[in-house]
Amino acid sequence: MVSPTLNNPGLFRVRRSALSERTDGELVQAALQGQSQAFGILVTRYMRPGYLVAFSVTGSPQDSEDVAQEAFLVALERLEDCRNPEKFGGWFLTIVRNRARNFLRRERLRRGEELTPEISPGVGGPAEDFAKLEIRERLEEGMEGLSETRREVLLLHDLEGWKHREIGERLGIPDGTVRSHLHFARKHLRDRLGALRGSAPEGEES
């Protein structure tokens, strides 16, 4: 069986050199002037983190896609409000997070029930084989019970490949806190995965 805890440097880490050496600030200035290429690079650079932050809040692949997509358009319309263009990433992820939370609130009102963000299984494509689907569902179930911030830290670090410092800057939390969140998130997930596999859990999240 394929283990979901394989060491992986982050399959979807953004290769900045392949995209552009231009900083976020330069790209934001160009996008303010309507340069499509610059905005396109920003989208390439932040579409995965945006999706992951939305996923941390909504727990739904489809909703995360919609939220992240809308967030880019909102960010473009309000680009003048980005006071520090060099910190576009953090500003953008805040937009994503807020929109995802608003989405959850709307859903809660619509359903008339108390909706706790739970990771819901995504819809697998026809090409997705059973083993992959099983792993993904286990991971999604394993993410339940983690706080929104810990999910963000875990996904941005272990899936997107961001460093502690980058995560800290963009989420507005100290590096040490990032490390702490990451440690507990991994521990929680390993325990959950172990429990889901039927093996004894290694311990509880503190």
Partner 1 sequence: MKDVDERLDLSPLDPESRDAGFWLRFHGRVLEQARDELARRRMTEGLTVAEVVFQWRKPLVPLTLLAASLAGVFVYGHEEPAPDLSPVAYSEALVEDLEGDPIPTVLERVVELDEGMFLASAGGF
92 forms part of the interface with partner 1 (CB under 8 A): no
- Shortest distance in whole angstroms from residue 112 CB to partner 1: 30
Nearer to partner 1, 104 or 185 (CB): 185
Alpha helices of 59-147 — where are they, by DSSP H?
61-77, 88-111, 130-143
22 is a site residue for partner 1 (CB under 8 A): no
- Phi and psi (nearest 5°) for 161? 85, 20
Q: Which is nearer to partner 1, 104 or 143 (CB)?
A: 143
At 145, give phi and psi (nearest 5°). 95, -15
Q: Which is nearer to partner 1, 47 or 115 (CB)?
A: 47
What does the DSSP 8-state code read for residue 122? P
15 binds partner 1 (CB under 8 A): no
Residues 144-203 that bind partner 1 (CB under 8 A): 154-155, 157-159, 186, 189-190
Considering only residues 132, 172, 174, 199, which one is a binding residue for partner 1 as defined by CB under 8 A?
132
Give burial (CB, 10 Å; 0-12/13-18/19+) of 185.
Answer: buried
Cβ pair 49, 100 in contact under 8 A = no
